[in-house]
Structure 1
Amino acid sequence: MTSLPRSWARVERLDAARTVDALYARTGVRFALEGPCPGGQVGAAYVRRPDGRRSVLKWRPHSRVADMRAGPLAVTEALRLAGYPAPATELISQVGHAVVMVQELLPGTTLDHLDQRSLDQALGLNQLQADRLAGHPGIPTVEFHLREDGPGYCLHDPLRRYNRRTAAFERWIAAVGADHPARMAGRDAVHMDFQPGNILATGGSITGVIDWDGAARGDRRFDLVTLRFGIHSTEADPGVTHRLDAVLDSFPEDILRPAWAHMSLRMVDWAIRHFTPADVEHWLDLAEQRMS
């Protein structure tokens, strides 16, 4: 089944060799390209410095350095000060329309299977995100896109046109949007794509959370809704799914409903435009569980 789509930019493939050359021309720092990062990250590759140290080259199209510094990078720096295992940004540069970053390579591999122990750790990390941006009112807040399209994702028209079932679901999403603010309130750090493919672990312990390019300010509980969608596309113990559902059941409706509607729109729209009818049904089956 489909994995969660990138929520912050249109998907465009990294030309890593050309980007390394452009970064050298801009900064005078030469990196040796090792190859693409696993897991379908079209905008990430492993690179090595002249001293042998390895890092991750990140490429974010149609972006500005100033916006990255004021948004996602400010979020991760605030979290790192609290001991959160987010990667440090070692170098950042504007290369044409794209922002190119070299980030710390954290230990571990992506978490393919969420068990009870890793869920405990994920919930602990989510707690650490609470109130972390209280001193950063300028960081943009999360936008739900329930009333109008997002920038290349969370599009409404594909649901309206696909079939009767998706059209009815889009009407529910629009109704949720009409009942809630367009942006998320809160002072927490929000990852926006907190799912197993962005969680690193080794020996059963989480060692890092990566891919903060869409990070924003809002309510940390949004990330647990994202995690619920994330384990729908991977292998998870049934007990883990039931336990996470119980956590979501405890959320106030004004938190859970718009977050669930956003993730439902995000996944169903993406499946309609990029994957198969079976994928559309896969995501609708989950999305409709909290349709009321």
Structure 2
Amino acid sequence: MGAVSSSSSSWARVERLDAARVVDALRVQTGVSLTLEGACPGGQVGAAYVRWADGHRSVLKWRPHGSVEEMRAGPLVVTEVLRLAGYPAPAAELVAQVGDAVVVVQELLPGRKIEHLGQSELDQILHLNQLQADRLVGRAEVPAMELYLRDDGVGYCLHEPLRRHNRRSAALERWIAAVGADHPARLAGDDAVHQDFHPGNMLTAGRLVTGVVDWDGASRGDRRFDLVTLRFGVHAAETGPGVTERLDAIIDSVPEEVLRPAWAHMSLRMVDWAIRHFSPAEVENWMDLAEQRMS
């Protein structure tokens, strides 16, 4: 799985790329011919199904403003380490630099994304989260997760939209900033952290959880951050009886030094995104959840 050097490209921004152009660029740069089959379901930007010459199918992904070196020092290390522990994360089959994008062709795992999260699925997800513990001990090349409680992220976790939206969101932003002042800027720990650990990134076949996908933001930190992400994820998903209440009880046991910054980060992430992309009613819905643990 060797890195491929970038050739000169007229593509100034990855957002302008489409899957067909990425496939063409990979053929020119690597000599690998892939057949494009179509976009991945759910409107996911930057992901498509492709077929190799031998007939097997994979997922083609491209990440804006990234590099092969960053991918190899972070997400690919995380997934490779987890796969060795039996974790159902996809293997990377090809990695290349295309303009200012890092392109990954990865294993297509069986199953479909979780549409309804029941107790059986939750049991399996909690087991997978436990497998993430201490997996990055001795892997100092993997960066710790940045929380962005004091400063903006790149395109997400922006503070100004909360300050401007209304009094309620401004109060939430002040709480987030106060949490940031009391905690380190990066998440502590040597666990593997997915960062986007929600049902839409989990696959099932029948009642069996067959995969966790979309590890582009994977980093080092505390695995319990992903449980907080999951709690925000079930807020917008269908769940079986008692699932949300059980998850809340588990999160209640997370130490405050982990829970507060994790909750503040997810509150910032979801409310900011809703303000900029969704309806006022959805903003209020996310603030309802965020305020449950403001203290």
The bucket for the TM-score relative to the shorter chain is over 0.9
Which residue of the partner structure matches residue 138 of structure 1? 141
Deviations 1:207-245 (A, max 9, x none): 000000000000000000000000101111240000000
CA RMSD of the aligned region, Å? Answer: 1.1
Q: Distance in 1 between matches of 2:173 and 2:49?
A: 40
Which residue of the partner structure matches residue 5 of structure 2? none
The 8 Å contact of residues 14 and 59 in structure 1, kept in 2 or not, is answered as no
* CA gap 1:81/1:13 in 2 versus in 1, 3 angstroms: farther
Which residue of the partner structure matches residue 186 of structure 1? 189
Letter in 2 for 1:48: R
Select 2:87's aligned residue among 71, 84, 89. 84
Q: Distance in 1 between matches of 2:141 and 2:53?
A: 37
TM-score (norm 1): 0.95
Letter in 2 for 1:98: A
Percent of residue pairs identical: 74
Letter in 2 for 1:109: R
Which residue of the partner structure matches residue 103 of structure 1? 106
Q: Distance in 1 between matches of 2:15 and 2:270?
A: 18
The 8 Å contact of residues 193 and 223 in structure 2, kept in 1 or not, is answered as yes
The 8 Å contact of residues 67 and 101 in structure 2, kept in 1 or not, is answered as yes
Which residue of the partner structure matches residue 228 of structure 1? 231
Letter in 1 for 2:213: I
Q: How many pairs align?
A: 283
Secondary structure of 1:146's match?
coil
Q: Distance in 1 between matches of 2:236 and 2:260?
A: 21
Select 2:219's aligned residue among 171, 194, 216. 216
Deviations 1:62-84 (A, max 9, x none): 10000100011011001011110
Residues 1:250 and 2:253 aligned together: yes
Map 1:62-81 onto structure 2 (within 5 A). 62-81=65-84
Select 2:24's aligned residue among 15, 21, 26. 21
* CA gap 1:88/1:121 in 2 versus in 1, 3 angstroms: same
Map 1:161-176 onto structure 2 (within 5 A). 161-176=164-179
The 8 Å contact of residues 14 and 63 in structure 2, kept in 1 or not, is answered as no
* CA gap 1:12/1:238 in 2 versus in 1, 3 angstroms: farther
Which residue of the partner structure matches residue 202 of structure 1? 205
The 8 Å contact of residues 39 and 197 in structure 1, kept in 2 or not, is answered as no
* CA gap 1:222/1:81 in 2 versus in 1, 3 angstroms: same
Q: Distance in 1 between matches of 2:241 and 2:64?
A: 38
Letter in 2 for 1:163: N
The 8 Å contact of residues 61 and 97 in structure 1, kept in 2 or not, is answered as yes
The 8 Å contact of residues 157 and 272 in structure 2, kept in 1 or not, is answered as yes
* CA gap 1:225/1:169 in 2 versus in 1, 3 angstroms: same
Residues 1:117 and 2:135 aligned together: no
- Listed as ranges, the gaps of 5+ residues in structure 1 are 1-9
The 8 Å contact of residues 161 and 272 in structure 2, kept in 1 or not, is answered as yes
Q: Distance in 2 between matches of 1:165 and 1:13?
A: 36
Q: Distance in 1 between matches of 2:125 and 2:55?
A: 32
- Listed as ranges, the gaps of 5+ residues in structure 2 are 1-12
Q: Distance in 2 between matches of 1:289 and 1:136?
A: 36
Letter in 1 for 2:170: A
Q: Distance in 1 between matches of 2:241 and 2:166?
A: 31
Which residue of the partner structure matches residue 40 of structure 1? 43
Q: Distance in 2 between matches of 1:238 and 1:146?
A: 34
Which residue of the partner structure matches residue 57 of structure 2? 54
TM-score (norm 2): 0.94
1:14 Cα offset (Å): 5.0
Which residue of the partner structure matches residue 5 of structure 1? none
Q: Distance in 2 between matches of 1:120 and 1:243?
A: 11
Secondary structure of 2:150's match?
coil
Letter in 1 for 2:185: A
Secondary structure of 2:242's match?
helix
Deviations 1:69-116 (A, max 9, x none): 001101100101111000000000000000111000000000011100
